[in-house]
Amino acid sequence: MPTVDRDALRARLRASGRHSEAAGVAAIPPPPLTGNEPTGMDAVTGRLITGWPWVVQSATRVLTTAYFEEVMRPHVGSNARQLFGELANLRTAQRFRWAVGVALLMFVPNLRPSAIQQLSTDRTGSTGWIAEGDYLPRAHRGDLTSAGRRSLDLVPTVRGGPAITG
């Protein structure tokens, strides 16, 4: 097996300038940071997102992931997905409320849920929910100062569309 001279390979790549052109990285400046807000990567575009949009994305990821679905993090997820398709009765509504509350409390550190309410239901079993809580932009740093109340709408706007909006 031939050996690869990594230093020479790096030098050729830097000299060509291709490393800075990959996916238009050099052309897109990152958004300005306003403080110690939660920061992450947008799952759709791959760009940097900060603040409340990151919390909405994090909540969406946690609530739509079942336990043991992620290989390296089997403990992250929620039981909410298991309840889709169940009968729309009081017991199932309480179990869904509990699953959403526990998942948000455990895995979304920048949102402290205070109320999870069912907004609507119809004969087909379709329900609409809203999760309200305090937005803690610096909770990941240990600062539990609230920046106000926010809500997550757990109501899909269109069939197959995003299930959670902030």
Let me know if residue 48 belongs to a domain: yes
Structural domain harbouring 129:
32-153
Let me know if residue 54 belongs to a domain: yes
Let me know if residue 18 belongs to a domain: no
Residue 90 burial (10 A CB sphere; 0-12, 13-18, 19+): exposed
CATH code of the domain containing 60: 3.10.450.40
Let me know if residue 112 belongs to a domain: yes
Let me know if residue 22 belongs to a domain: no
- The string of pLDDT tens digits covering residues 65-124 is 888 887 888 888 888 878 777 777 788 888 888 888 888 888 888 888 888 888 877 777
Let me know if residue 57 belongs to a domain: yes
| pTM for the structure as a whole | 0.68
Question: How many domains in the chain?
Answer: 1
